[in-house]
Structure 1
Amino acid sequence: MISVHQQPSKTESMHHCHKPCHPPAMTTGHNLFSALRAAFPADLDGTAVETSAPDGSVLRYSWRDLDHASARIANLLAALKLPERSRVAAQVEKSVEALLLYLATLRAGHVFLPLNTAYRSAEIAYFIDNAEPAVVVCTPGNFSWVSKIAFTRGTQHVFTLGDDRSGSLLERASAHGAQHQPVPRQADDLAAIVYTSGTTGRSKGAMLTHGNLLSNALVLKDYWGFRPGDVLLHALPIFHVHGLFVAIHGALINASKMIWLARFDPRAVLAALPRTTVFMGVPTFYVRLLAEPGLDRQAASRMRLFICGSAPLLIETFDAWQQRTGHSILERYGMSETLMLSSNPYGADARHAGQSERRGATVGFALPGVGLRVADAADQPLPVGQIGQIQVQGPNVFKGYWRMPEQTAEAFTGAAPGDRWFKTGDLGQFDERGYLSIVGRSKDLIISGGYNVYPAEIEGCINALPGVAESALVGVPHPDFGEVGVAVVIAKPGAALDGEAIIATLRAQWANFKTPKRCFVVDELPRNAMGKVQKNLLREQYRGLFL
């Protein structure tokens, strides 16, 4: 593979409160890059990443390419004489070079700030104001407006990076050497700042440390049974925890080759499955793959593991995947602030009496080293079957929100280390076997006439109705009840749905306060880049229905 210097010159009790146990041993006194680099195979000339160029030709990057090219970019950052632990913001398209920039930032001891490629000027201005990055890297096509925002806010360096291996970042890096000694970092030092989606207000920067990221990578390598010869099919974006940290760290810490798709395409995924063993996706990926006639047991015969997260997986999708491929999707649970915190088992789990079943509509058990509980409003653990707020503690939990001490304090329980639990904002419950199910976000809870309505409960019923592909239930203001539910439904291809008929069916099964007052059939639900339904937009759209 062409390396950077060759770039063309172009511009468990009744409460099921799971206390942490010890995770796998973690390297201390080194930064995350050092641990990832130490896992590279002895044969550095083997293929680390295989991808396609814009013209369709196959590009292969060796492990040596990853090492030497990230060293060149790290040496460029060192030559800029940046302040210690500077932020390096990147809003670029997915490419292996974007991965190299991330590795180089870790290697140089700075803090990586991945930004969604969908963000526009107002959002970028906020992130640059808040994080004050010393370096901003953007696509060549966005340089004019991104650089203007960055320079006027004090950023000293703005580089470009295209998905065709063009841009000033690689041009400048080509002048630097291919050897670089990683800057020492401790477990508690910042490695990345990941901004939350901001659906309930201003986005908050979750501060993730070298220890957070490395501990989670080591736990998942063990828990998900990574083994020599595994090949990861990577079709996720890399501005998000799922694609950047879970998927990439999983491959690098296991010395696994990656088949790298610039974007998700169901036919490209199907074509690549015979050469891979592990796939990570969001529910939308699995739904779209199920629509492909070529998906069958033969297509998935070499696969070892299908993992799903970032949004709830419908039980219908779980069942259909099992029937078509013979594989049970492993659903797990994580968020920007905690990385991965629970997972369905890969196989028999000695901590849970040998249970090895991957149960649809659940996110499994707490990962090793992670404390997990469901608590009431007073932060006291609740018994099995009761719904409460999911709280978590452990080495995976972030350091706090960047420059937001009040929001950080509000996000945690007591001050003592043993009592300090992060309040996820998700509502969940444990079943009698210890499996955790998520029933919704606390902000999505509907209180109608003084009664609690959990959207996931009603959505599950709607989704089981004939002809329904997916649904979302949101609460909107009501003059008598305070709030009432409004259902928004997508029909399966060829199905004709009637909103009033759906409400009539629900009314026969549920208490009146749980039954939506209106039901709308739409073509699609608003989603963010990771496939999560943006219920805040639905609430805003229908908030005036009863006023």
Structure 2
Amino acid sequence: MTAADLLACDLANHADIVAAHAVEQPDTIAIVDAERRVSWRDFDALVDATAARLQSEGVGPGDNVAICGYNSVAYAAVFIAALRIGAAAAPLTSSASRESLGQMLRDSAASHLFADTSFEIPLPVGITRVDLATLDGWGAGKPTPVTVSPSDPFNIIYSSGTTGTPKGIVQSHAMRWAYLRRIMPLGYAADSVTINATPLYSNTTLVSFLPQLAAGGRCVLMRKFDARGFLELAQAERATHTMLVPVQYRRIMALPDFDSFDLSSFRLKSSTSSPFDPALKGDVLKRWPGGLVDSYGMTEGGASTILIAHLHPEKLHTVGKVAEGSEIRLIDEDGVEVPPGETGEIVERGPMMMTGYRNRAEATAEAMWTSPEGNRYMRQGDVGRFDADGFLILMDRRKDVIISGGFNIYPSDLEAELLAERGVIEAAVVAAPSADWGETPAAFVVLADGTDPQAVLAAANARLGRTQRITSIHTADRLPRSDIGKVLKRELRDRLTA
């Protein structure tokens, strides 16, 4: 079957689409990393050789293959090779601690770990470790074809890898196919070029990498993100698409010579994973060619919202409308749906729901809310409300809401006031213990040289309500963030209690 035929099916193995591209456009460049440019023929041959060796060592349907490393052709080949033999890819969170990586590896029950040599990971007995740098000579031949079913595991993505106990989110082939169907209409095609500047272990990356791979265009993998390097690469490769997290947009747009780069090839930029400041969205729309889409959802899946920012510049403070085929409800602390216009916890339902947390039936059940009609919804853990036009406005993570003297305070409101002050580059507000009020807001800010933090605090508090006022402000060179740009507020709270 051709790639077009496979994409028209109700379900196909992503690895089969790669094989079809290798036949139809063998000499066209498929994957680019920091060291090489690989054609569809050579990429497919590497996938085949890796898959055949894994299969010869007993790996097949129902098994898992672990990967830990920086973005590379070899990393991508192992991921697709696992799918080719019916196994699931288990990309480990490379930014996690040695202990957490060991926990993830044990949880995955993988027989093989493909990793860069720089990562020290405790290796359980019976697991074969393969250096990603040696992948080209590791295998040979072609694997025996397999057939996948919609419910078969596609990948396991680990959340909470930087703090807490990691949970393995199992995503099925049906879920990934639903992602593909939703994302590909955003202009991914055989002539498009996508830069992936976030790690391949992240769902954020996979929702742009896999559609570009399926479309037959060029995937450009950054080993590690830096703002200037991204712009140089985008200009050189004539990039048409990218998926970046908000902190990456902020660092790119802050470069003094941003406007000197030729970005006219861009058709669409996307963003997800963390709150995207409306002013920053506006700056991207004004100065960076091509459209901008901000999407909201969670790795566990359920529903998602989409803001096509270039069509709705008046809605930049929102994350858009609920995507077609999805459903979002808002519930109160008792699990009762709130009236229209009111704030509540976000629960969602749709075709892109995880199978569950691996080996954690109780955690899976806790992540669900059942409606009065008996339908299952994923609990987002976020708080939000819909405006009169049906656009979703995010307030905060439920666990980050500050309860001071019985009043709910949403840190995002306070952060917006801080960021409105000249000289404030980044801001995060967390709960500080208070003998009088239980909790009070404390701010952490990254400031431009010469900016007075106390003046910033006074100006922001002058605009905030009396119950919202920030009690202390702390400066930092940079806010602690995960590899996909989420502010690690637990670390900031730990600084206060320390």
Matched, 1:109 2:86: yes
Change in CA separation of 1:39 and 1:246 when aligned onto 2, cut-off 3 Å: farther
Give the alignment partner of residue 106 of structure 2, picking from 86, 108, 129: 129
Q: What CA deviation, in whole Å up to 9, does each residue of 1:135-163 have, x standing for no partner?
A: 11222344xx53xx32xx3333221113x
Matched, 1:202 2:147: no
Which amino acid in 1 is paired with 2:101? I
With the length of structure 1 as denominator, give the TM-score of the two structures.
Answer: 0.83
Query: Which aligned pairs between 1:324-473 and structure 2 lie closer than 5 A?
Result: 324-325=287-288, 327=290, 329-338=292-301, 341-345=304-308, 357=313, 359-414=315-370, 419-473=375-429
Change in CA separation of 1:199 and 1:71 when aligned onto 2, cut-off 3 Å: closer
Q: Distance in 2 between matches of 1:34 and 1:428?
A: 40
How many Å apart are 1:450 and its aligned residue? 0.6
Q: What CA deviation, in whole Å up to 9, does each residue of 1:262-304 have, x standing for no partner?
A: 2223333223334111121112221221133332287222211
Aligned residue for 1:329, secondary structure, equals strand
Which amino acid in 1 is paired with 2:497? R
Q: Distance in 2 between matches of 1:172 and 1:325?
A: 43
How many Å apart are 1:504 and its aligned residue? 2.8
How many Å apart are 1:472 and its aligned residue? 0.5
Which amino acid in 2 is paired with 1:34? D
Give the alignment partner of residue 158 of structure 1, picking from 129, 141, 156: 129
Matched, 1:82 2:64: no
- Select between 501-510 and 309-318 the one with higher mean Cα deviation: 501-510
Is this contact kept in 2: 1:388–1:429, CA < 8 A?
Answer: yes
Change in CA separation of 1:418 and 1:367 when aligned onto 2, cut-off 3 Å: farther
Q: Distance in 2 between matches of 1:68 and 1:203?
A: 34
Give the alignment partner of residue 27 of structure 1, picking from 10, 13, 33: 10
Identity of aligned residues (%): 27
Query: Which aligned pairs between 1:217-296 and structure 2 lie closer than 5 A?
Result: 217-222=180-185, 224-243=186-205, 245-274=206-235, 275-296=238-259
What is the aligned partner in structure 2 of residue 52 from structure 1?
A: 34
Is this contact kept in 2: 1:133–1:155, CA < 8 A?
Answer: no
Is this contact kept in 2: 1:332–1:340, CA < 8 A?
Answer: no
What is the aligned partner in structure 2 of residue 523 from structure 1?
A: 477
Q: Distance in 2 between matches of 1:334 and 1:297?
A: 34
What is the aligned partner in structure 1 of residue 273 from structure 2?
A: 310
Aligned residue for 1:362, secondary structure, equals coil
Q: Could you say what the CA RMSD is over the residues aligned between the two structures, in angstroms?
A: 2.5
Change in CA separation of 1:200 and 1:138 when aligned onto 2, cut-off 3 Å: closer
Number of equivalenced pairs: 490
Is this contact kept in 2: 1:462–1:468, CA < 8 A?
Answer: yes
Is this contact kept in 2: 1:26–1:215, CA < 8 A?
Answer: no
Aligned residue for 2:248, secondary structure, equals helix
Which amino acid in 2 is paired with 1:468? V
Matched, 1:507 2:461: yes
Q: Distance in 1 between matches of 2:372 and 2:49?
A: 43
Which amino acid in 1 is paired with 2:355? K
The gaps in structure 2 that reach 5 residues or longer are 1-6
Which amino acid in 2 is paired with 1:401? Y
How many Å apart are 1:41 and its aligned residue? 7.5
Q: Distance in 1 between matches of 2:370 and 2:17?
A: 33
How many Å apart are 1:357 and its aligned residue? 4.8
Q: What CA deviation, in whole Å up to 9, does each residue of 1:85-116 have, x standing for no partner?
A: 11211112221111000000111111211112
How many Å apart are 1:393 and its aligned residue? 1.1
Change in CA separation of 1:418 and 1:358 when aligned onto 2, cut-off 3 Å: farther
With the length of structure 2 as denominator, give the TM-score of the two structures.
Answer: 0.91
What is the aligned partner in structure 2 of residue 539 from structure 1?
A: 493
Q: Using CA pairs under 8 Å that are at least 6 residues apart, name the structure with larger relative contact order, 1 or 2.
A: 1
